Structure 1
């Protein structure tokens, strides 16, 4: 088993580019991760990495070994999943990612209950509004909220979510309420955008009588954290484009009010994405089923509260 563990460390070092990141990912110290790689090199009788002070890059032998090693680990994982499925006792580790907002509100809060049901499954959650490279990061399941494009990953749709434009009453009193989508641009309204390197949301897509239309809105500041944008809207700093369930409490108590209700943003889809090879893994199916049911219940309760 130690040899297989050494292979697993080697694969993560190749994928993440350095020992520290691979060690953190596998809950090992850099020293232990380094020793695992050295043991593997000693066993194979070749050097697997070119080492610099900042990064490890695989040698030609390392690249060749990586391709075979990755397939070995995938085959072992599939075999273990098949046995777990037959025994009814799923075990192992699931790496999960989600955006900050829904991750904190819907996903993270459900993981302890999932763990109580399935004590042999470990869940490692990474929350980020940035786009995560699922293959490079070794992610098993990614919960997404947005206008999802065609993907090479398998998708389990959870629900369609209404979006609204909203602003604080004092902002609308100070700047005036836009009467048409064009007014967002013509009147230079402060539109609060979720942006980060590689982000795709540089415009808002609104439902108009002519169909869905893109509007190149802008504002004096933006953020890569969705909750920060909501806080700015609450502080009267501009108009926000949000899934209704995220800001429903603020709409209900009057701290925010809907803007342009007749031309709302197009809905977004809440979904779980996972690599095709993970479809047969029982622990992945269990987590996706559990979270799908939980998200539907929690969002429904939020929107139906009086």
Structure 2
């Protein structure tokens, strides 16, 4: 194997994962020209074409897809071997990649990760914030924190904490427009809707006498954003009623900056989960972060306000 064939292979895998050679080069610290030259060198050594390339697209060839499967297995095996050696020496190191929703990541998780970093200064963190479901394989995440249990059986899902959603608004908004007493009263109100890659989350669900009822909010009544943190800021500014997880709203509720609307009609959620690849579940650097998150969520769960007494558990809808 050539001196830096391993580096060329890492570049190839990143280019296939990210869908672009320039993006892969940036991630690994190569210029666009250097990345192109390294890929060309790898193809020449293998005597096959790994990608069909145009100025705008990068598409794997049949040979490239086959090679990618084996390269990923090889890189994962090397990483596991290194981690096993480190674990045997009583230390962990490297980079842990974690994904979370925007509002939760900025206003809760980020503070926890500061504490984690102080306890494990030898580990580096990569935090990706998005309100769309993270594709762990494509985004190369070690752990993704998501509200609701996933349907993908190929992933390990660890329950971190309970969860429920609340409709909430600022005191100023409620003073101006009134506080709704039933779901039907919402027809007279303004809203802030989170929009994801799969569409707007404008179906609101209520527990009415033990039965789930759904109210679809017309978008012409709403402000829209794809950023959960911005949606919360708009609610604080009195723009309307929004739906937040209790985890995203709890600090504002405690401080009186937001108030819960229609608490007696709340619907339960399955909880917050950590999603992991099965082949990374026991990797030491990932395991130490997972254990840290389990403990932090356990502590924070004890400080949540009590869930509404009449809450009924329904399947999760949304993120």
TM-score (norm 2): 0.84
CA distance in 2, matches of 1:105, 1:232: 15
User: Kindly tell me: are residues 147 and 303 of structure 1, through their superposed partners in 2, closer, same or farther at Cα, counting changes over 3 Å?
Assistant: same
Residue 47 of structure 1 contacts residue 62 of structure 1 at CA under 8 Å; is this kept in 2? Answer: yes
User: Kindly tell me: are residues 63 and 261 of structure 1, through their superposed partners in 2, closer, same or farther at Cα, counting changes over 3 Å?
Assistant: closer
Indicate the SS of the match to 2:272.
strand
Deviations 1:190-245 (A, max 9, x none): 23221122147331222332233332224322211112111221222211112234
Alpha-carbon shift at residue 99 of structure 1 (Å): 1.0
Candidates 144, 147, 161, aligned match of 1:142: 144
Match of residue 67 from structure 1: 69
Instruction: Give the total of aligned pairs.
Output: 301
Candidates 168, 171, 174, aligned match of 2:173: 171
TM-score (norm 1): 0.88
Match of residue 258 from structure 2: 256
CA distance in 1, matches of 2:246, 2:106: 16
Residue 18 of structure 1 contacts residue 56 of structure 1 at CA under 8 Å; is this kept in 2? Answer: yes
Match of residue 156 from structure 2: 154
Alpha-carbon shift at residue 159 of structure 1 (Å): 0.7
CA distance in 2, matches of 1:205, 1:83: 50
User: Kindly tell me: are residues 245 and 47 of structure 1, through their superposed partners in 2, closer, same or farther at Cα, counting changes over 3 Å?
Assistant: closer
CA distance in 2, matches of 1:119, 1:171: 44
CA distance in 2, matches of 1:215, 1:67: 45
User: Kindly tell me: are residues 114 and 234 of structure 1, through their superposed partners in 2, closer, same or farther at Cα, counting changes over 3 Å?
Assistant: closer
Once the two structures are overlaid, the 10-residue window that deviates more, 156-165 or 28-37, is 28-37
CA distance in 2, matches of 1:88, 1:200: 47
Indicate the SS of the match to 1:130.
coil
Alpha-carbon shift at residue 280 of structure 1 (Å): 1.9
User: Kindly tell me: are residues 31 and 162 of structure 1, through their superposed partners in 2, closer, same or farther at Cα, counting changes over 3 Å?
Assistant: same
Match of residue 213 from structure 1: 213
User: Kindly tell me: are residues 249 and 115 of structure 1, through their superposed partners in 2, closer, same or farther at Cα, counting changes over 3 Å?
Assistant: closer
User: Kindly tell me: are residues 222 and 3 of structure 1, through their superposed partners in 2, closer, same or farther at Cα, counting changes over 3 Å?
Assistant: same
**Unpaired segments of 5 or more residues in structure 1?**
none
Alpha-carbon shift at residue 154 of structure 1 (Å): 0.7
Deviations 1:3-62 (A, max 9, x none): 112111101111211112212333433233223312212221222222211122223322
Matched, 1:24 2:26: yes
Once the two structures are overlaid, the 10-residue window that deviates more, 111-120 or 172-181, is 111-120
Once the two structures are overlaid, the 10-residue window that deviates more, 147-156 or 270-279, is 147-156
CA distance in 1, matches of 2:27, 2:142: 13
User: Kindly tell me: are residues 249 and 70 of structure 1, through their superposed partners in 2, closer, same or farther at Cα, counting changes over 3 Å?
Assistant: closer
Runs of 4+ in 1 over 6 A off after TM superposition: none
Once the two structures are overlaid, the 10-residue window that deviates more, 107-116 or 130-139, is 107-116
Alpha-carbon shift at residue 275 of structure 1 (Å): 1.0
1:8-157 equivalences under 5 Å are 8-144=10-146, 146-152=147-153, 153-157=155-159
Alpha-carbon shift at residue 260 of structure 1 (Å): 1.0
Match of residue 242 from structure 1: 244
User: Kindly tell me: are residues 30 and 214 of structure 1, through their superposed partners in 2, closer, same or farther at Cα, counting changes over 3 Å?
Assistant: same
Alpha-carbon shift at residue 103 of structure 1 (Å): 0.9
User: Kindly tell me: are residues 27 and 272 of structure 1, through their superposed partners in 2, closer, same or farther at Cα, counting changes over 3 Å?
Assistant: farther
